[in-house]
Amino acid sequence: MCLPTGESSGDPGRCRGKSAVVERLDARGYPILRLLRTFRIKPSYQLALLAGRDSIQGGAVPFKVVITDTTAEDYEVERRLFADAGFDLEVVYLQTREPSVVRDHAADADAVVVAWAPLTREVIASLRRCRLIVRYGIGVDMIDLDAATEQGIVVCNTARYCIEEVSAHAISFLLLLNRQILPLHRSMQNGGWGSPDIMPPRRLAGQQLGLIGLGNIGRAVAAKARGLGLRVVACDPFVQAGSVQDGVQLVGLAELLTTSDYVSIHCPLTASTRHLIGRRELALMRPTAFLINCARGAVIDQSALVEALARRRIAGAALDVFETEPLAVDDPLRRLDNVILTPHVAHWSVESAIECRRTAVEHVLAALRGEIPPDVVNRAVLQRPHRLCSEPGRVGSGEGGEKRPAPGGHRG
């Protein structure tokens, strides 16, 4: 349904307000407002019916899903999947990162989907009925996981949607750094020929790549790197040092930094990984080594990295992520000639964007069926009472005991 939240867009299934677009679908995926118009119910009665959910649902309240924000231009992927799901649904599309707006609209939501809006402890405390939070993406540093776990809210990400893209981006960085592509390109643009002022690269095969983090993306990078003839080692707190995983030798962080020709970061941003790479760690790297980061900017102490690059303590870096985004126009990283910068787009492709959005909706629908979705991030919540119910077809009653309809329109 479309609630009258502001100026009408002209589409009977949508209204554009200052802060929200609300759609309500019946169990067959039809906008209820369109059904009322089909049966020629007077406009005044339409608004009366739409204003009272119990009038339509016979005492049952439809599932409510709030999507806070997205980088996509529209919500057509989500709309199509929700319409085909077989639930009575109210879906609110906010397109905001403002916590107060999220609190106002999501207090009675069954599920919240977020891209970059910060879900702080205060916001999560206001989600009195929420069973599930889903992140559009892999990193969940904008969600207070401890607060969600304490409230019994399951948090999921879309863990596999951009493995191919990010791993390819990291390897592209490595090849650009090794082959000195950008300095040669700039020289040609300035009328030069040859490479009189550029040191020749070392042959890639036989060099060592050190991976910080050996999760899904780290393993994909390792597979690509080994295909290029690189030796691969990794450091991962969840894998025992000295073991071998998929042909990758696990070592300690200090050994990885002192022995690697390329260091590529693929770990999440947590309290323990913030500024994991600082002045001391950069000093351990070889002066001929390169640093690559396609994970989270704050894993590196950015000021320490700028200093190391400016003083040529390491050979160079390639960065897709930064401590503060967007990167300031006057940031010193932009002025260095031994760093490659891209604007947090390693995940970027037509296919990955669709897969991310589809996966997020599938996680929501799984939760509304009473299932535990894949990609649970705060696994500790599953070891304690939580708001998802394991009984298929229904979800825990939530505060107030309001009834929620089961799939297929059953409202028992």
Looking at the structure, tell me whether residues 237 and 312 fall in a common domain: yes
pLDDT digits (tens, 9 = 90+) for 387-396: 985 433 333 4
Beta-carbon contacts of 371 under 8 Å, excluding residues fewer than 6 positions away, are 388, 390, 392
Tell me the whole-structure pTM to 2 decimals.
0.81
Domain that holds residue 138: 21-161+350-403
pLDDT at residue 224 in the model: 98
| Count of positions (residues) in the chain | 412
Residue 2 is assigned to a structural domain of this protein: no
Q: Which of 291, 320, 341 is the last residue of a domain?
A: 341
Higher-confidence residue of 44 and 175: namely 175
Based on the structure, what is the number of domains in the chain? Answer: 2
Looking at the structure, tell me whether residues 182 and 272 fall in a common domain: yes
Q: What angle do CA 135, 87, 132 make, to 5 degrees?
A: 25
Looking at the structure, tell me whether residues 293 and 362 fall in a common domain: no
Higher-confidence residue of 132 and 8: namely 132
Active centre residues (catalytic): 296, 325, 344
Looking at the structure, tell me whether residues 181 and 236 fall in a common domain: yes
Looking at the structure, tell me whether residues 308 and 381 fall in a common domain: no
pLDDT digits (tens, 9 = 90+) for 261-303: 999 999 999 999 999 999 999 999 999 999 999 999 999 999 9
Does pLDDT of 17 surpass 70? Answer: no
Run of H or E residues at 291: strand 290-293
Give the residue-averaged pLDDT of 81-87: 92
Q: Which of 317, 341, 365 is the last residue of a domain?
A: 341
Looking at the structure, tell me whether residues 336 and 229 fall in a common domain: yes
pLDDT at residue 61 in the model: 67
With b meaning 16 or more CB within 10 Å and e meaning fewer, what string describes 31-53?
Answer: bbbeebeeeeeeeeeeeebbeeb
Residue % of the chain over a pLDDT of 70: 80
Looking at the structure, tell me whether residues 180 and 326 fall in a common domain: yes
pLDDT at residue 197 in the model: 80
Looking at the structure, tell me whether residues 62 and 39 fall in a common domain: yes
228 exposure class (CB count in 10 Å sphere: 0-12, 13-18, 19+): middle
Q: Which of 341, 372, 391 is the last residue of a domain?
A: 341
Beta carbons of 143 and 135 less than 8 angstroms apart: yes
pLDDT digits (tens, 9 = 90+) for 189-237: 999 998 778 889 999 999 999 999 999 999 999 999 999 999 999 999 8
Give the residue-averaged pLDDT of 47-76: 68
Run of H or E residues at 89: strand 89-93
pLDDT at residue 240 in the model: 82
Residue 287 is assigned to a structural domain of this protein: yes
Give me the CATH number covering residue 127: 3.40.50.720
Helices (H), 107-245: 121-125, 145-150, 163-179, 181-189, 216-227
Angle between helices 350-368 and 76-83 (to 10 degrees): 30
Residue 233 is assigned to a structural domain of this protein: yes
Higher-confidence residue of 86 and 236: namely 236
Angle between helices 163-179 and 216-227 (to 10 degrees): 40
Residue 412 is assigned to a structural domain of this protein: no
Give the residue-averaged pLDDT of 40-62: 45
The residue type found at 76 is: E
Looking at the structure, tell me whether residues 28 and 113 fall in a common domain: yes
Looking at the structure, tell me whether residues 140 and 181 fall in a common domain: no
- Backbone dihedral region of 201: left (phi > 0), alpha (psi from -120 to 50 degrees) or beta? beta
Give the residue-averaged pLDDT of 325-332: 98
pLDDT at residue 32 in the model: 53
Residue 13 is assigned to a structural domain of this protein: no
With b meaning 16 or more CB within 10 Å and e meaning fewer, what string describes 164-196?
Answer: bbbbbbbbbbbebbbebebbeeebeeeeeeeee
What is the average pLDDT value for the chain, to the nearest integer?
A: 85
Q: Which two tokens stand for residue 397?
A: 């009653």
Beta carbons of 194 and 376 less than 8 angstroms apart: no
